[in-house]
């Protein structure tokens, strides 16, 4: 007879943030579930559920723990502190939170609560940690945005007592002010509101049933056992999708093959009904009263399939069984761009031809907030609200309403609240969001889906995955003559929303880089394989082009025995050559490439490298230095050009500025922030314009029912395009203000000027404050007869050209040839982003981009097993993201040439790091070893290269 206590649904008492609670969790409920779902303390986040990301770190009896590893019953009687209980009430923020705020140690805010709990634990046990100890203390927490650098700096400020009590720098506000961000207070205190934090009464939980095989035809799907589980409300399959006449998702950018035919294949059903095309392909949807029930029922859905030959290798695609009927031999498009004949002629007359084969490794974006959706269809009004993790809610509304077919765009409201990172992966329209909206209509209940990390690995659009052969031809003086590029781009099993655009127009047009290369030819074959769809990931096409070009140039320098910097300098476009028409369609408006190269060389002490290499060699280590110069294209536009290249969209951005009657300013933008800090940067922009305090300005985005139609945030476009729309609308308001002021001042409108927040008359010094004009507009008692009351204006801005940020990145590495271990000793980035509104924000973007670039160069690789077609990297136990302990500080600097064609003068900074960093690192590796290594340069690859090179190399450099 057992006498021990058995808690089936026994009570657990917890003291959380000083308050006592009694809950009755399931035996298998984790502490993070209880905190979030029962106690509604949603500041503790779920990023992986495998104890690897640190998003759920809380304090349990004084120790930091990952709440996803603690069963709530195990915490019986515990004293728990969550992010919501960190500030003691005497101030809004405690010291750690304040240090984070002052050092811009957070971006999207998703990892921030866990990070703060870990820092508290660290400082409790070690009040004055070294930098290495700080990084070790942060090792359990992943951050995908900041590159950890400002987090380390925040901790250093804490231990050096450099957290300022004086917060007057909050008052700094205009363009160029490094003020802390407006959004930070909510992220630091766990009050950010992410999609998965939102619940609706009566909601059902959705779980998708996914293919475990890479390629098969579906014979039958049997849901009868799953439907019998109590709590299951419905199970839908691909047959239901067909029966209800739902459409398929397709790519919004049509690319044509060299023979003029449009691209073929790749349409994606909302649930697979005929064929499973990759591991993760969803073929059924279970809806249940709770997520646990839905998961158990999903395991009971039975599928009979007939296996088909699978292929995960893009170079084998043409010889493998076709995934899509219309795409013969799995070729979606066979695209040719540039001057094929000219490039061939350049090869023929060249003194030197350098040829390389290289792979651009498949990456899995890994925003720390997994995708989520919550749909609520209202049958009475035939309207619906969809909460979605989207970088582009207006586009989500358009495509989802068109795809499901039963709701007009005007009746669907898409709300994208705070986003925990995106990096491209949340631009696209996926089947899951369409499915939950459809399911909400069918069940008459709200339906919620939150992806697991494994689903993020399986099904979020991956990035890169190119195989390329390229030739660079040079004359006897080492001037570039031409380049010939042939790339096979792995598109995955389906065409994602912008999949065709990324390896073509975002890639081929960037191949000239910052150099004069008279003839460039680029051929890209886009092929289908039994892998997750591939689409834009931070940089999108431009990192692939830059890595190729900069590798080619370094290889040329090595083979020709000249300094790689000299070879670059010889071929750089000079400042007096702008505007510069490249041979690959773009016209660069401005830049000074020599300026950032010089600055970077100086900061990196390029000249002194030889001595450092010698010193390292004396210790048995290999040192290498690598340079990469890049130019990229942001703010893709104008719309007409995009259309001519195959876009099914315009690429303008919108803004609506509204003064409230009490002279506060609401700024509605169609762009969206997923960590970039628009609430601050955009506010600074209009603060400068109107001379208003930041506190009087509110930036509103992400809700299609109350923002003007916009195009979202990607491609480093928000400030250059969205900011320009804001300024355009601001100018309209000032124009109207001048009419009102002229009336009130009894002068001509032409005589009114607006300066420092006041409307003045040229003819006398009379002036009216902006607030007085706003008041007059809303209380139009004494008012121009022909003028409408109110003070708001909207604007759409369609740029006349792309913007062209550029920069030089230099990396110095040290390699242990015995273990293959690599250490980035120094990383220098000098970039030209044009006008910088908030240097803090820009620096943070650069850090984060570079660390994602380091991830690509050294750690990250999305892998499939060619034998089984199954993915090998489906959790943080297999896929390595850079952690704080893997990194050293990055030195960031900037040079300045403004964009010539937008009113902000800004060029965009979000992707630069991910573009410039990988070649700088890989060139440093090649410089150290004497030969090239493919990305990611894992210790094993580095070691193997050292071995084979030592055997072959007779020279002793």
CB 314 within 8 A of CB 330: no
Least CB distance to another protein at residue 612 (A): 22
Place of tokens 């409307």: 759
CB 655 within 8 A of CB 699: no
Q: Is 54 in the site for another protein (CB under 8 A)?
A: yes
Q: Which residues contact 873 (CB under 8 A, 6 or more apart)?
A: 364, 457, 861, 862, 863, 879
Among 191, 352, 454, 664, binds another protein (CB under 8 A): 454
Among 316, 329, 819, 950, binds another protein (CB under 8 A): 819
Q: Which helix (H) or strand (E) holds 59?
A: strand 57-60
- CA 676 – CA 146 distance, rounded (Å): 11
The two tokens of residue 410 are: 């005007």
Least CB distance to another protein at residue 129 (A): 11
Q: Is 893 in the site for another protein (CB under 8 A)?
A: no
CB 181 within 8 A of CB 93: no
- CA 499 – CA 461 distance, rounded (Å): 9
Determine the size of the site formed for another protein (CB under 8 A). 64
The two tokens of residue 64 are: 């930091």
Least CB distance to another protein at residue 299 (A): 7
- CA 172 – CA 541 distance, rounded (Å): 37
Q: Is 225 in the site for another protein (CB under 8 A)?
A: no
Binding positions for another protein, 667-706, rule CB under 8 A: none
Among 14, 16, 23, 30, binds another protein (CB under 8 A): 30
Tell me which stretch binds another protein (CB under 8 A): 527-535, 777-785, 877-885, 901-909. 877-885
Strands 447-450 and 412-415: unpaired
The two tokens of residue 547 are: 């890595």
Least CB distance to another protein at residue 583 (A): 41
- CA 592 – CA 805 distance, rounded (Å): 10
**Torsion angle defined by CA atoms of residues 539, 543, 545 and 549, in that order, rounded to the nearest 10 degrees:** 150
CB 654 within 8 A of CB 709: yes
Tell me which stretch binds another protein (CB under 8 A): 219-227, 705-713, 732-740, 937-945. 937-945
- CA 697 – CA 685 distance, rounded (Å): 10
Least CB distance to another protein at residue 102 (A): 24
Among 706, 878, 950, 953, binds another protein (CB under 8 A): 878
Least CB distance to another protein at residue 881 (A): 8
Q: Is 231 in the site for another protein (CB under 8 A)?
A: yes
The two tokens of residue 89 are: 């009430």
Nearer to another protein, 30 or 716 (CB): 30
Q: Is 229 in the site for another protein (CB under 8 A)?
A: yes
Least CB distance to another protein at residue 55 (A): 11
Among 64, 389, 530, 555, binds another protein (CB under 8 A): 64
Least CB distance to another protein at residue 938 (A): 8
**Torsion angle defined by CA atoms of residues 707, 708, 712 and 713, in that order, rounded to the nearest 10 degrees:** -80
Query: Going residue by residue from 264 to 303, which x/- string records binding to another protein, judged by CB under 8 A?
Result: -----------------------------x-xx--x----
Question: What sign results for the dihedral spanned by CA atoms 830, 831, 832, 835?
Answer: negative
Nearer to another protein, 231 or 518 (CB): 231
Q: Is 6 in the site for another protein (CB under 8 A)?
A: yes
- CA 884 – CA 137 distance, rounded (Å): 9
Least CB distance to another protein at residue 455 (A): 11
CB 578 within 8 A of CB 589: yes
Among 47, 140, 492, 723, binds another protein (CB under 8 A): 140
| SS3 at position 263 | coil
Among 14, 35, 44, 73, binds another protein (CB under 8 A): 73
CB 572 within 8 A of CB 594: yes
Least CB distance to another protein at residue 364 (A): 12
Q: Is 192 in the site for another protein (CB under 8 A)?
A: no
Least CB distance to another protein at residue 608 (A): 28
Tell me whether the omega of the peptide bond preceding residue 638 falls within 30 degrees of 0, making it cis: yes
Q: Is 230 in the site for another protein (CB under 8 A)?
A: yes
Among 8, 341, 607, 951, binds another protein (CB under 8 A): 8
Among 940, 948, 950, 953, binds another protein (CB under 8 A): 940
Binding positions for another protein, 580-619, rule CB under 8 A: none
Least CB distance to another protein at residue 5 (A): 5
Place of tokens 């380091």: 854
CB 181 within 8 A of CB 841: yes
The overall longest dimension of the chain from CA atoms, in Å, is: 100
Among 15, 51, 318, 839, binds another protein (CB under 8 A): 51
Among 666, 816, 888, 900, binds another protein (CB under 8 A): 816
Nearer to another protein, 152 or 637 (CB): 152
Q: Is 818 in the site for another protein (CB under 8 A)?
A: yes
Cβ-count burial of 72 within 10 angstroms (0-12 exposed, 13-18 middle, 19+ buried)? buried
Q: Which residues contact 3 (CB under 8 A, 6 or more apart)?
A: none
Nearer to another protein, 135 or 398 (CB): 135
Cα-flanking dihedrals φ and ψ of residue 90, to 5°? Answer: -75, -25
Q: Is 540 in the site for another protein (CB under 8 A)?
A: no
CB 108 within 8 A of CB 145: yes
Nearest to 828 by CA among 562, 544, 606: 606
**Torsion angle defined by CA atoms of residues 328, 329, 333 and 336, in that order, rounded to the nearest 10 degrees:** -120
Tell me which stretch binds another protein (CB under 8 A): 342-350, 625-633, 842-850, 940-948. 940-948
- CA 936 – CA 914 distance, rounded (Å): 14
Distances (CA, A) of 351 to 152, 342, 479: 50, 16, 10
**Torsion angle defined by CA atoms of residues 592, 597, 602 and 607, in that order, rounded to the nearest 10 degrees:** -140
CB 833 within 8 A of CB 915: no
Least CB distance to another protein at residue 395 (A): 32
Q: Is 859 in the site for another protein (CB under 8 A)?
A: yes
Nearer to another protein, 140 or 583 (CB): 140
Least CB distance to another protein at residue 121 (A): 6
Nearer to another protein, 773 or 945 (CB): 945
Among 876, 909, 910, 932, binds another protein (CB under 8 A): 876
- CA 898 – CA 904 distance, rounded (Å): 9
Distances (CA, A) of 376 to 45, 193, 444, 621, 690: 23, 18, 8, 60, 40
Cα-flanking dihedrals φ and ψ of residue 218, to 5°? Answer: -90, 130
Nearer to another protein, 60 or 846 (CB): 60
Q: Is 38 in the site for another protein (CB under 8 A)?
A: no
Q: Is 178 in the site for another protein (CB under 8 A)?
A: no
Tell me which stretch binds another protein (CB under 8 A): 418-426, 644-652, 657-665, 817-825. 817-825
Nearest to 117 by CA among 45, 48, 165: 45
Among 581, 617, 877, 953, binds another protein (CB under 8 A): 877
Q: Is 330 in the site for another protein (CB under 8 A)?
A: no
Query: Going residue by residue from 96 to 135, which x/- string records binding to another protein, judged by CB under 8 A?
Result: ----------------------x--xx-------------
Among 156, 257, 452, 486, binds another protein (CB under 8 A): 452
Enumerate binding residues for another protein (CB under 8 A).
Answer: 2-8, 10, 26-28, 30, 49-51, 54, 57, 60, 63-66, 68-71, 73-74, 76, 118, 121-122, 136-137, 139-140, 229-231, 293, 295-296, 299, 452, 454, 816, 818-821, 859, 876-881, 886, 938-940, 943-944, 947
């Amino acid at each position: 007879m057992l006498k021990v206590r058995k808690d089936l649904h026994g009570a657990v008492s917890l003291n959380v943030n000083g308050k006592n609670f009694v809950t009755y969790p399931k035996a298998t409920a984790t502490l993070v579930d209880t905190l979030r779902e029962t106690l509604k303390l949603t500041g503790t986040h779920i990023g992986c559920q495998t104890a690897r990301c640190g998003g759920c770190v809380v304090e349990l009896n004084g120790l930091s723990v990952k709440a996803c590893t603690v069963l709530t019953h195990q915490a019986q009687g515990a004293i728990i502190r969550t992010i919501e209980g960190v500030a003691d009430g005497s101030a809004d923020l405690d010291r750690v939170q304040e240090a984070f705020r002052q050092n811009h140690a957070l971006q999207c805010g998703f990892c921030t609560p866990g990070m703060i709990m870990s820092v508290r634990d660290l400082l409790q046990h070690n009040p004055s940690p070294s930098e290495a100890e700080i990084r070790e203390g942060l090792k359990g927490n992943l951050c995908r945005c900041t590159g950890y650098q400002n987090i380390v700096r925040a901790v250093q400020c804490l231990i050096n007592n450099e957290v300022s009590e004086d917060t007057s720098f909050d008052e700094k506000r205009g363009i160029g002010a490094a003020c802390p961000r407006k959004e930070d207070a909510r992220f630091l205190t766990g009050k950010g509101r992410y999609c998965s934090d939102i619940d609706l009464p009566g909601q059902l939980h959705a779980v998708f049933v996914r293919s475990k095989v890479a390629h098969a035809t579906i014979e039958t799907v049997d849901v009868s056992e799953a439907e019998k589980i109590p709590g299951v409300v419905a199970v839908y399959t691909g047959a239901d999708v067909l029966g209800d006449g739902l459409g398929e998702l397709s790519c919004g950018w049509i690319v044509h093959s060299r023979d003029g035919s449009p691209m073929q294949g790749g349409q994606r059903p909302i649930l697979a009904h005929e064929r499973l095309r990759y591991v993760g392909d969803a073929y059924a949807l279970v809806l249940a009263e709770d997520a646990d029930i839905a998961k158990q029922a999903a395991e009971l859905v039975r599928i009979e399939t007939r296996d088909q030959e699978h292929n995960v290798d893009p170079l084998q695609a043409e010889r493998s069984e076709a995934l899509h009927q219309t795409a013969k031999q799995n070729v979606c498009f066979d695209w040719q761009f540039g001057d094929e004949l000219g490039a061939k002629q350049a090869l023929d007359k060249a003194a030197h031809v350098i040829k390389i084969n290289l792979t651009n490794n498949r990456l899995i974006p890994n925003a720390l907030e997994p995708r989520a959706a919550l749909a609520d269809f209202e049958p009475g009004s035939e309207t619906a609200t969809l909460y979605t993790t989207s970088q582009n809610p207006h586009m989500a509304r358009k495509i989802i309403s068109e795809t499901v077919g039963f709701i007009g765009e005007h009746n669907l409201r898409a709300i994208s609240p705070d986003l925990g990172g995106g990096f491209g992966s949340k631009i696209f329209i996926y089947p899951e969001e369409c499915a939950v909206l459809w399911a909400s209509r069918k069940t008459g209940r709200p339906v919620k889906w939150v992806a697991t990390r494994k689903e993020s690995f399986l099904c979020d659009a991956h990035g890169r995955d190119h195989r390329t052969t390229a030739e660079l031809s040079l004359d006897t003086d080492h001037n570039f003559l031409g380049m010939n590029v042939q790339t096979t781009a792995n598109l995955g099993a389906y065409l994602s929303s912008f999949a065709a655009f990324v390896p073509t127009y975002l890639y081929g047009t960037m191949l000239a880089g910052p150099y004069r290369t008279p003839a460039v030819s680029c051929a890209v074959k886009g092929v289908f394989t039994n892998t997750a769809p591939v689409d834009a990931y931070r940089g999108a096409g431009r990192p692939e082009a830059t890595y190729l070009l900069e590798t080619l140039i370094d290889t040329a320098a090595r083979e020709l025995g000249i300094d790689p910097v000299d070879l670059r300098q010889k071929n750089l476009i000079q400042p007096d050559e702008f505007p510069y028409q490249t041979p690959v369609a773009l016209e660069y408006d401005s830049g000074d490439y020599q300026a950032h190269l010089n600055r970077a060389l100086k900061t990196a002490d390029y000249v002194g490298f030889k001595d450092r290499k010698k010193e390292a060699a004396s210790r048995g280590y290999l040192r290498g230095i690598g340079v990469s110069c890049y130019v990229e294209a942001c703010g893709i536009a104008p719309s007409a050009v995009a259309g001519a290249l195959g876009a099914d969209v315009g690429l303008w951005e919108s803004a609506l500025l509204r003064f409230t009657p009490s002279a506060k300013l609401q700024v509605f933008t169609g762009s969206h922030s997923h960590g970039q800090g628009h609430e601050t940067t955009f506010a600074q922009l209009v603060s400068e314009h109107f001379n208003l305090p930041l506190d009087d300005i509110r930036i509103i985005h992400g809700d299609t029912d109350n923002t003007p139609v916009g195009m979202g945030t990607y491609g480093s476009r928000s400030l250059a395009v969205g900011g320009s729309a804001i300024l355009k609308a601001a100018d309209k308001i000032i124009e109207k203000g001048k009419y009102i002021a002229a009336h009130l001042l009894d002068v001509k409108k032409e005589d009114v000027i607006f300066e420092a927040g006041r409307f003045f008359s040229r003819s006398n010094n009379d002036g009216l404050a902006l607030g007085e004009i706003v008041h007059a507009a809303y209380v139009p008692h004494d008012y121009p007869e022909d003028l409408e009351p109110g003070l708001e204006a909207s604007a759409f801005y369609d740029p006349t050209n792309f913007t062209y940020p550029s920069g030089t990145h230099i990396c110095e590495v040290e390699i242990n040839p015995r273990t293959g271990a690599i250490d980035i000793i120094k990383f220098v980035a000098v970039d030209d982003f044009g006008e910088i509104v908030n240097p803090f924000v820009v620096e943070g973007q650069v850090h984060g981009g570079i660390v994602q670039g380091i991830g690509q160069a050294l750690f990250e690789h999305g892998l499939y097993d060619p034998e089984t077609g199954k993915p090998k990297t489906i959790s943080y136990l297999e896929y390595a993201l850079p952690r704080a302990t893997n990194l050293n500080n990055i030195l960031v600097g900037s040079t300045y040439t403004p964009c010539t064609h937008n009113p902000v003068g800004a060029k965009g900074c979000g992707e630069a790091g991910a573009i410039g960093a990988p070649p700088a690192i890989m060139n440093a590796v090649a410089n150290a070893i004497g030969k090239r290594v493919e990305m990611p340069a894992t210790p094993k690859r580095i070691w193997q290269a050292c071995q084979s090179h030592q055997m072959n190399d007779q020279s002793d450099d």
